[in-house]
Amino acid sequence: MTIRCLARHPPVEVSPGTCYGQSDVGLAAGWEFFASQLADYIQTAGIRRLVASPLARCRIPAEWVATRTHCELRLDARLKEISFGNWEMRVWDNIPRNALDEWAADLLGFVPPQGESGQELIARVTAFWNETNAGSSCVVLSHGGPLRVLEALVSGKNIDLAVAAMPLGSIRPVL
């Protein structure tokens, strides 16, 4: 599959400032507007395949889109957000400052307690890319972390986990 479009899930129903990573949190009200826009893009572009993270904030809109567009839906765990382990569902301000500083100093190697490193995220998303980057077109619906990696791979740039993530609920065609 050739990736023709990247999409980031719509806003979620968690308190602002909460670290949620791979936690399976619910969608905020109004997610259907995003799903409708994604369905319109898929139909207009003639894309027949949607690949999404299995976490509910991606899976639910993906199922909605697939039902309405009759495109093939494939869920792939390699597209999940990075795991923040014991930090998940904690308010960022309640995570020890020194731990956040260690993470910021080493985005690739630092591992939150019971979580995964940036390098592990890159490895699993790159494995997805290597398997996916050929054949028919697809849309990928995922999270900020994996989309940073995919954007770099699609554009032939170096992977930089410090770049700003696509906004929630955004759809970005790949040229």
List, in sequence order, every residue forming a beta bridge with 51; answer none if it has no partner.
74, 140
Return d(Cα 152, Cα 156) in angstroms, integer.
Answer: 6
Whether the pLDDT of residue 136 is over 90: the answer is no
Mean local confidence (pLDDT), 30-51: 97
pLDDT in tens, 140-165: 999 999 999 999 999 999 999 999 99
Confidence of residue 1 (pLDDT cuts 50, 70, 90): low
Tell me what the mean pLDDT of segment 73-85 comes to.
98
Question: 102-117 pLDDT, tens per residue?
Answer: 999 999 999 999 999 9
Tokens 């700003």 label which residue? 164
Q: Is the pLDDT of residue 175 over 80?
A: no
Band of residue 32 on the pLDDT scale cut at 50, 70, 90: very high
Helix/strand/coil for 127:
helix
Give yes or no for residue 134 having a pLDDT over 90: no
Tokens found for residue 73: 């839906």
* pLDDT at residue 133 tops 80: no
Average pLDDT over residues 24-28: 97
| Bridge partners of residue 36, in order along the sequence | none
In Å, what is the CA distance from 140 to each residue of 21, 35, 132, 173? 18, 13, 10, 10
Q: Which domains does the chain have, with CATH numbers?
A: 2-173 (3.40.50.1240)
In the 3-class helix/strand/coil scheme, how is 9-49 assigned residue by residue? CCCECCCCCEECCCCCCCECCCHHHHHHHHHHHHHHHCCCE
Mean pLDDT score of the chain, rounded to an integer? 96
Could you write out the DSSP letters of every residue in 72-118? Answer: EEEE-GGGSPPP-GGGTTEEGGGS-HHHHHHHHH-TTT---TTS--H
